[in-house]
Chain A
Amino acid sequence: MGLVMTLTQSSRLGLEAGCSVFLEQGLCLPYPALKASRSPGWDGLLPTLCLSLRVEFIKLASENETVNLGQGFPDFAPPDFAMEAFQHAVSGDFMLNQYTKAFGYPPLTKVLADFFGKLLGQEMEPLKNVLVTVGAYGALFTAFQALVDEGDEVIIIEPYFDCYEPMTLMAGGRPVFVPLKPSPSQDGELDYSSNWQLDPTELANKFTSRTKALVLNTPSNPLGKVFSKAELELVASLCQQHDVVCISDEVYQWLVFDGNQHISIASLPGMWERTLTIGSAGKTFSATGWKVGWVLGPDQLMKHLRTVHQNSIFHCPTQAQAAVAWSFEREQQHFGQPSSYFVQLLQATQHKRDHVTRSLQSVGLRPVIPQGSYFLITDISDFKSKMPNLPGAEDEAYDRRFVKWMIKNKGLSAIPVSIFYSVPHQKHFDHYVRFCFIKDEATLQAMDKKLQKWKAELTP
């Protein structure tokens, strides 16, 4: 009993949101979360980690020879120049096997300051305005810990990349959700991510004197929305009016389709001083396993992130940073030209988007055409009305039951979108599933085979 009383998790981990799941891998938080404490009589009901739905779906997928369009990362290699850069980093100067500068390998912070300084229209200094982190995930964590205090409110736009909520809670903050809402589309008409919008009045009402930060994700996961200038100006004016920090997750910034423009909110008037802009080498160079990300921002905010960084991990691995630096230098030379990887990846990914969109429609799924990112969500309401009683746990959201059914019976995996919503809102958004389309041609062809078989089963 004594042992159990002492050996509890810290209360900081008694996160009260329900099952918050990180989808690309791994385990989820306690479901429902119990706030462990050292109070007497506490009898050892340690919160149990549940296997994430993700892991459950992956396991199901592998057991059923599934075409995996669930996991959100490429199933092809990084470009040759990036592979070569990493090979060079690991076989060249042996001192790259040792610690580099804590806040970022100098050639990397320099190229990031140059490259993004131009894009954001801001003079950036490598030591003051750039911090290299362990992935964009690490950048987000560092930002929340640096700025969010107990009782602070953080505005999160739904549907959201699911780590925003637990990171807010771990910092003692209170997430305040505001939904993107689709305008009703006509029957038979395609839905577009641009159709999903914030209600300006509703958004304005979410700001209080306790609001510390707003998390913006553009292009967004899972919806693929690319916020327009007008939408960003609305967010910007509210952030300025209420003196709020904007944490802008722009990891998919190079994947913006149909000639749309990615706009960094930090480049809008009055926003540089209150915005942290987060990026990812993993998404930029199709090398998610390198786990190199960064934050860009004004020194008066960045110094607090540096404090968190030096008291959490201190250094990031050197060689991966060297590889990213060389890769950026290469891209700088080719920027805007047909030989640029950003241009080529964008073209290839847009083509994949179109392919997947057409293929999904052939079985009565209704994709929401994304303006950006490498995800799309698809409306499954028709299936919900035709087959409402799919097997699953009592009260299990429809989209989760649908995905399990699809894995077992159709050999395709996806991710239920209700996972990207706050618990109270999940039941309103249980009729969408997310597909990741940044997959090899062979994977997409395998997907087509499965969909053709599915279609054949639909016709009597």
Chain B
Amino acid sequence: MFLAPRRLCSFGSSAKFLKTIYPSNILGLPTSAKMSLKLKNARRIEGLDSNMWVEFTKLAADPSVVNLGQGLPDISPPIHVKEELSKVAAIDGMNQYTRGFGHPSLVTALSCLYEKFYPNKINPNKEILVTVGAYGSLFSAIQGLIDEGDEVIIIMPFFDCYEPMVRMVGATPVFIPLRSKPVDGKKWSSSDWTLDPQELASKFSSKTKAIIVNTPHNPMGKVYTKEELQVIADLCIKYDTLCISDEVYEWLVYTGNKHFKIATFPGMWERTITIGSAGKTFSVTGWKLGWSIGPSYLIKHLQTVQQNTIYTCATPLQEALAQAFWIDIKRMDDPECYFNSLPKELEVKRDRMVRLLESVGLRPIVPDGGYFIIADVSLLDADLSEMNNNEPYDYKFVKWMTKNKKLSAIPVSAFCNSEAKLQFEKFVRFCFIKKDSTLDAAEEIFKAWKNQKS
């Protein structure tokens, strides 16, 4: 603290003098902070600033690291999809604003496609909204339908954006974990992980506004059975709640499994928003186009959010997507249809990943769908002593593996709420929608790793 030199104390009153001698920065407040006490964030985003993807994509950015972390394909999108976008890019008239709630040819194509799976017709203008990725649909649904004080049931592990989006509207997430049956001896499958019906029922209350269902599931790859979805549906009807059904991986379902749309169950169309994704359907995550389908009296609220957030999505991408859809809609029974060929291609990669993970003593949970696989890494008993002690085991493991094995993945506890991280901290997620050379490189790493152990 600076003291005024004695000789200056004779000027004016001491209070006035102190004001002169002790400007705000000496009182401990830097001038800019004192002046901008108001320039702070709105309460709705308090505590929502951290995002694990920023940290982990940075880690994996090292080109010498084989990246099985972030869920994006490094395979080429199908040729017909790339061709349609090239064609559209040459059209002058496709570069200005289109219809806010979805480009006409796209919502028509979506309606035509999905009517094949629903007992009801789907009005392209009133019952479909095209959004900035499925992420944008989740945001619009939550903003449009969930209020402060509402409860939203989230099944753990969960795609990490569900929790902050629910909190951002001032609602309370209510978590319930998937739990595994004991599986001694046999292969561990995502179908071994289920919800306890009584536990699930106990999570519903008069405050419950919605439950978010993700099938096929990220990160586990679980494909909910008809019976499992019926349990959820019964509770939604009993408690008069909404269902937000994230079905982005709907085409990626492997042999012996079937994708069920909860919105097609009796009593569910009227209370369900079903979300889909161009990025996951056509391996074009960078197009950032998704959609919500539901009854008009729900979709209109998502449309209101849309017109006050981004207003409309990019025109040329929507047109190209529509054309790509028409091509595959016309050949849905054909093995060449991308909806059929991609899961076949991925099932082979899935099986390869299972073998690779097992070969080094990791214990994978074989996914029934999706393009992720999680594995229990604790049996490896890796020496993680050099890693930061404050983090969950899987965070440390992934960082250790990235550094020492040049292989990246994502810790599954990142898909859990902060109180429950320990429940899943032994698990790590690998993405397998990768080209053969990437998986070959991963195989080399696993081989060397195995040899090091023996």
Residue of B nearest to A22 (CB): B307
A167 CA to B310 CA, complexed, in Å: 11
Known: A9-B144, A96-B286, A273-B32. A244 touches B89 (CB 8 A): no
Q: Mark A33-58, 1 if CB is under 8 A from B, else 0.
A: 00000100000001001000000000
Q: How far is the CB of A95 from chain B (nearest CB, A)?
A: 7
Q: Mark B320-331, 1 if CB is under 8 A from A, else 0.
A: 000000000000
Q: How far is the CB of A96 from chain B (nearest CB, A)?
A: 6
Interface window among A84-92, A253-261, A363-371: A84-92
In the complex, whether B406 has a CB less than 8 A from a CB of chain A is no
**Which of B37, B82, B100 makes the CB contact (< 8 A) with A91?**
B82
A288 CA to B283 CA, complexed, in Å: 26
User: Are the C-beta atoms of A25 and B39 separated by less than 8 Å?
Assistant: no
User: Are the C-beta atoms of A167 and B39 separated by less than 8 Å?
Assistant: no
In the complex, whether B375 has a CB less than 8 A from a CB of chain A is no
Neighbouring A residues of B311 by C-beta, 8 Å: 22, 24-26, 135, 137-138, 163
Neighbouring B residues of A26 by C-beta, 8 Å: 99-101, 307, 311-312
A152 CA to B97 CA, complexed, in Å: 32
Q: How far is the CB of B31 from chain A (nearest CB, A)?
A: 11
A87 CA to B83 CA, complexed, in Å: 11
A75 CA to B307 CA, complexed, in Å: 22
Interface window among B108-116, B163-171, B218-226, B443-451: B163-171
In the complex, whether B70 has a CB less than 8 A from a CB of chain A is yes
Chain B interface, number of residues (Cβ within 8 angstroms): 87
Q: How far is the CB of B100 from chain A (nearest CB, A)?
A: 4
Neighbouring B residues of A46 by C-beta, 8 Å: 297
In the complex, whether B209 has a CB less than 8 A from a CB of chain A is yes
**Which of B39, B48, B86, B287 makes the CB contact (< 8 A) with A311?**
B48
**Which of B42, B143, B144 makes the CB contact (< 8 A) with A148?**
B42
Neighbouring B residues of A97 by C-beta, 8 Å: 76-77, 82, 283-287
Known: A26-B99, A137-B311, A167-B308. A91 touches B132 (CB 8 A): no
Q: How far is the CB of A282 from chain B (nearest CB, A)?
A: 8
Neighbouring A residues of B308 by C-beta, 8 Å: 29, 141, 163, 166-167, 170
Neighbouring B residues of A308 by C-beta, 8 Å: 45
Chain A interface, number of residues (Cβ within 8 angstroms): 92
A166 CA to B311 CA, complexed, in Å: 12
Neighbouring B residues of A141 by C-beta, 8 Å: 308-310
A400 CA to B98 CA, complexed, in Å: 24
**Which of A9, A24, A166, A301 makes the CB contact (< 8 A) with B39?**
A301
In the complex, whether B72 has a CB less than 8 A from a CB of chain A is yes
A11 CA to B169 CA, complexed, in Å: 10
Known: A102-B54, A138-B309. A315 touches B146 (CB 8 A): no
Q: How far is the CB of B168 from chain A (nearest CB, A)?
A: 6
User: Are the C-beta atoms of A145 and B36 separated by less than 8 Å?
Assistant: no
**Which residues 288-347 of B have a CB within 8 angstroms of A?**
288-289, 297-298, 300-301, 303-305, 307-317
Q: How far is the CB of A165 from chain B (nearest CB, A)?
A: 10
Residue of A nearest to B315 (CB): A289
User: Are the C-beta atoms of A146 and B41 separated by less than 8 Å?
Assistant: yes
In the complex, whether B215 has a CB less than 8 A from a CB of chain A is no
Q: Mark A87-107, 1 if CB is under 8 A from B, else 0.
A: 101110011111111100000
User: Are the C-beta atoms of B161 and A317 separated by less than 8 Å?
Assistant: no
User: Are the C-beta atoms of B314 and A245 separated by less than 8 Å?
Assistant: no
Neighbouring B residues of A98 by C-beta, 8 Å: 72-74, 284-286
A12 CA to B144 CA, complexed, in Å: 8
Q: How far is the CB of B90 from chain A (nearest CB, A)?
A: 6
Q: How far is the CB of A216 from chain B (nearest CB, A)?
A: 16
In the complex, whether A233 has a CB less than 8 A from a CB of chain B is no
Q: How far is the CB of A150 from chain B (nearest CB, A)?
A: 8
In the complex, whether A307 has a CB less than 8 A from a CB of chain B is yes
User: Are the C-beta atoms of A77 and B92 separated by less than 8 Å?
Assistant: yes
In the complex, whether B7 has a CB less than 8 A from a CB of chain A is no
Q: How far is the CB of B140 from chain A (nearest CB, A)?
A: 9
In the complex, whether B440 has a CB less than 8 A from a CB of chain A is no
Neighbouring B residues of A25 by C-beta, 8 Å: 97-100, 311-312
A22 CA to B99 CA, complexed, in Å: 12
**Could you jot down 12 A-B contacts, CB within 8 Å?**
A7-B297, A13-B301, A26-B99, A26-B307, A49-B304, A83-B90, A98-B72, A243-B36, A273-B32, A273-B39, A289-B94, A304-B40
Q: A7-B271, A287-B95, A289-B98 are in contact. List 15 more A-B contacts (CB 8 A).
A: A8-B145, A29-B308, A75-B96, A83-B92, A87-B89, A89-B89, A91-B86, A99-B285, A274-B36, A289-B314, A291-B314, A300-B36, A314-B133, A317-B287, A317-B314
The 6 closest A-B pairs by CB, nearest first: A289-B315, A318-B286, A26-B100, A77-B92, A9-B301, A304-B41
